[in-house]
Amino acid sequence: MANFVLVHGAWHGGWCWQRVQLPLARAGHRVHAVTLTGVGERAHLLSPAITLETHIADVAGAIEAEELHDVVLAVHSYAGMIGTALADRMGRRLRHLVYVDAVVPQPGESWGSTHAPATREARIAGAAASDDYSLAVPDPAAYGLQGADLDWTRRRLTAHPGHTYEAMLDFDPVRVAAVPRTFVSCTAPALPTIDPIRPRVADPGFWNGAWRAGAGARVVELATGHDPMISLPAELEQILLGCA
């Protein structure tokens, strides 16, 4: 039996993992799909007070409360910031860290650091113009979703706490690299805001060589869009099982 903790990206909620979570649970594994404060079924808690540290505490608290060890931690998109922080701060609790088409930052970077200037400026301006300093829901068609999957996702996305966007994360890459890592690269279509991350995880010199060192890292490609837990769940499930 493995312990899986699944963490969604921005605008999503724990709901997005249903098609992966249920088969993993039926196979006898413990599976926890965390919903971050202010989104999903916790959207009623949205406020300007929510920061990256709030979301790090959400996931750390779930691991602590469930007394989980040897965790396979899968983090999607924005939640790459959270996974990196947890590998740095509580890496001994992790068996494997899976970046699912996710941000893999340099020390001192924020979620928005690698985004195009126009994207970054638009998001910051949009948050400032909102009543609760939130990032407006994007069109999930950009994730390559179609038909019923697109409608299902569009109904559920919620505004995201804006102060998570520019929050910088300091961490020790060597400590993070002590946890085995897998990057799941979703390429059909590739999401532009994740494109700057793909060369990083292929670069032996990333994190001054720590990315390829330590416990090791690999890249797995999926020919699907940015939400593989929705569009290609069986394939993503197999990757997660292989990390356990």
Q: Which two tokens stand for residue 98?
A: 């899976």
CB atoms within 10 A of CB 158: 18
Residue among 76, 26, 58 nearest 226 (CA): 76
Paired tokens of 144: 């390559």
Q: What is the gyration radius of the CA atoms in the chain, in angstroms?
A: 16
Helix or strand holding residue 227 (H, E): none
113 is catalytic: no
Question: Which tokens hold the place of 92?
Answer: 């001994």
Q: Which of 47, 77, 130, 134 is catalytic?
A: 77
Strands 3-7 and 94-100: unpaired
AA identity, residue 16: C
Which residues are annotated as catalytic? 77
